[in-house]
Each structure stands twice: as C-alpha cells, then as structure tokens.
Amino acid sequence: MKIRIKALSIDSRRNIFWILASVVALSVGVYIFGVLATVNHTIAKKNLMAENGRLASKVSELEFKDISLKNKINIEVALASGYNEVKSPFYVSRSRESLTLNTVSR
C-alpha cells in the first residue's frame, strides 16, 4: 500500500506564508486598536467621574441655597411682595365617582 503525498510548490508556499503573515499582522493591528480604545475609554471615564463630582457638589450647594431662601420667607415677606391672604378659599375634592368642586358660598 503506497501513500501518495502531494508536495506543495514554491509558489503555493509563498502564498500561504503571505496569507498567514497578513492574518497575523491584522490580528496585531486589531489588538493594538483594542488596547488603545480601552485606554481612551478609561481616561474618558475618569474625566466624567471627576466632572460628576464637581456637578454633584454644585447641586448640593444650590440645594442649600434654596433651603436657606425658603426658610427666609414668611407671611410678612409675602405681604410685602404683594401677595394677599385669601379669606374664603375653595377646594377641589375627588370622590370615587367623579371630580366635584366644593365651594363656600360667596
């Protein structure tokens, strides 16, 4: 029983070499691109986290100002600003069947 082995020609060996070399070079290029993209995303995340901290601090400061301004308002300030106290208010109440308007006789 004879086994036949087909030998590769020089041209086919050269083609196989260049194909494999191209695949390796492409793989290295994709790997480098992936590493650089990961580094860029990590830096962007770090910058966004720092910006988030600054904005959270600014929001906290504005909330504190809002609370302090709300605490300064009282009935005298409202009257001085031109608001009037309502003598006969009316209310809207919701029952199970419908929405009704309950008014005080005026």
Domain membership of residue 3 (yes or no) is no
pLDDT confidence tier of residue 58, bands split at 50, 70 and 90: very high
| For residue 98, pLDDT beyond 80 | no
Read off the pLDDT of each residue in 64-79 and give the average, rounded to a whole number: 91
Place of tokens 């083609």: 15
Domain membership of residue 71 (yes or no) is yes
Domain membership of residue 80 (yes or no) is yes
Cα–Cα distance between 21 and 19 in angstroms, integer? 5
Domain membership of residue 2 (yes or no) is no
Q: How far apart are the first and last CA of the chain?
A: 119
| For residue 104, pLDDT beyond 80 | no
Domain membership of residue 77 (yes or no) is yes
pLDDT confidence tier of residue 39, bands split at 50, 70 and 90: very high
Domain membership of residue 19 (yes or no) is yes
pLDDT confidence tier of residue 12, bands split at 50, 70 and 90: confident
- Residues 59, 60, 65: CA angle, nearest 5 degrees: 95
Read off the pLDDT of each residue in 16-40 and give the average, rounded to a whole number: 97
Domain membership of residue 62 (yes or no) is yes
